Structure 1
Amino acid sequence: MAANTIRTIGLGLALAMSSAGSVLAEDFPHYAAVTGVAADDVLNLRAEPTASAPVLGTLSPGATGIEITGASADEKWLRLNVDGRTGWAAARFLKDVPMPPWWTEQVPLACSGTEPFWSLRYAPGLFRFEMAGEAAQNLDVEWSGAPQNGKAETVGMKLSGKGTEGFVVFKGGTCSDGMSDALYAIGLDLFLKTPAGRRALTGCCRLD
């Protein structure tokens, strides 16, 4: 069976499962906008999903492009990142911005990791890998696939570039870079064979 056919079957099963529940891992991340907040008011970003938690920051009325990375168990609060910090805002004041799910490979992503510091940016069909002290590399996607068990939160891609080959696996779920207070909704494992040697890297991704 062709790789493209496998990919289609996997995504079809995932879409069917994602429509069956209210909030699933593959629902995050996605963009949202502030709604229902008066022009002279703000939406508070709190340290925990409760109205009594300390305020970490605020969102202005009509603010958009807000990345939602999770939800509380009762779905009344949404987790998001603002200025490098993770906080919680009341779900009733945030509306989804229409966009494809990240795992359809249509959504640009910005990924990074530490020790050593590196970054990987994704635009559909193309990656750009950078690491301190090394020349940046563009990497093409040779093929991609998702499990056929309906787990839309896992996507693998075969990469190739000038003298470089590798594989990346994206996994939906809470991810921490271990260096900041931010929590993300996508983790990745990156394996590369380059002229400089072999690398196995782990990091987190955000919408780009």
Structure 2
Amino acid sequence: MLRLAALLIALAFAQTAAAQDFPALFRVVNVSAGDVLNIRAEPNARAAIVGRFERTQVGIEVVGLSEDRRWGLVRIDEGIGWTSMRYLQAERSDSWRDGQQTLTCLGTEPFWTFRFFLPNNRAEYVAPDTSFEVRTDAPHLPGTQFPPTLTLPFQGAREGFAVIRNGVCSDGMSDRLYGLEGQIYWRGQAQGLSGCCMLGH
């Protein structure tokens, strides 16, 4: 837990320099045939290897950058690690705030998942005792610049809205970190949901 707390502080500091740029999706580039891209425990080439990406790996979500912007923080299994940005290339030029990328928010106690299939206007909510689909106002979604946020009003089986904002987020169940926080508010209910969000899925 001490390591996780230190990473939260380091990542929060790093994100202030380019909060609206991350999280973002990347692909592996410039790795030789037969080789892999290492994921390390700390943002330096001498740190222990905790995982690896294949040379053709795509859809890697970089949550934030190290202070020197040379290393990207990525999720692996139930934890996190750092990989060199020298071998990663952005898959898209747009931002998560543009309403053009699918976003998945999730939370615990109770466990729930809310997928927003953007830029389409369909979304689905899944929890142990219920699941349903709703429609959003995509692609015309309100948001703010500073701090970066995106609001997703929805209607259908349930009505309400989701607010997604840039921020270091922990699921509370593992050492995994996310670059987006999400809050869900239901019309007519005082109690909403709070969780973490990621790109795609």
Q: TM-score range by the shorter chain?
A: 0.7 to 0.9
**Hey, what does 2:31 align to over in structure 1?**
37
Q: Secondary structure at the match of 1:144?
A: coil
Shift of 1:198: 5.0
TM-score normalised over the length of structure 1: 0.79
Match of 2:135 among 137, 140, 148: 140
Is residue 59 of structure 2 the alignment partner of residue 65 of structure 1? yes
Show structure 2 runs of 5+ residues with no match. Answer: 1-16
How many residues of Structure 1 are paired with residues of Structure 2 in the alignment? 181
**Hey, what does 1:52 align to over in structure 2?**
46
Listed one character per residue, the Cα deviations across residues 117-166 of structure 1 (whole Å, up to 9, x for unaligned) are 001001122221111112x121222473113xx3262112222123x221
Q: Secondary structure at the match of 2:69?
A: coil
TM-score normalised over the length of structure 2: 0.82
Cα separation, 2, equivalents of 1:99 and 1:177: 28
**Hey, what does 2:125 align to over in structure 1?**
129
Q: How does 1:90-109 map to 2 (within 5 A)?
A: 90-109=84-103
Q: Secondary structure at the match of 1:64?
A: coil
Q: What is the identity percentage for the equivalent residue pairs of Structure 1 and Structure 2?
A: 34
Is residue 148 of structure 2 the alignment partner of residue 156 of structure 1? no
Is residue 21 of structure 2 the alignment partner of residue 27 of structure 1? yes
Q: Give 1 or 2 for the bigger CA radius of gyration.
A: 1
Cα separation, 2, equivalents of 1:174 and 1:62: 28
- The answer on whether the counterparts of 1:103 and 1:152 sit within 8 Å (CA) in structure 2 is no
Q: Secondary structure at the match of 1:115?
A: coil
Cα separation, 2, equivalents of 1:151 and 1:112: 24
Higher mean displacement: 46-55 or 64-73: 46-55
Shift of 1:99: 4.3
Cα separation, 1, equivalents of 2:141 and 2:28: 35
Shift of 1:203: 0.7
Shift of 1:193: 3.8
Shift of 1:42: 1.6
**Hey, what does 2:194 align to over in structure 1?**
202
Is residue 84 of structure 2 the alignment partner of residue 87 of structure 1? no
**Hey, what does 1:165 align to over in structure 2?**
159
Listed one character per residue, the Cα deviations across residues 93-132 of structure 1 (whole Å, up to 9, x for unaligned) are 1111124211111100111000110010011222211111
- The answer on whether the counterparts of 2:99 and 2:141 sit within 8 Å (CA) in structure 1 is no
Cα separation, 2, equivalents of 1:131 and 1:205: 16
Listed one character per residue, the Cα deviations across residues 18-57 of structure 1 (whole Å, up to 9, x for unaligned) are xxxxx61111121111122221222110111122222111
- The answer on whether the counterparts of 1:30 and 1:99 sit within 8 Å (CA) in structure 2 is no
Shift of 1:82: 2.8
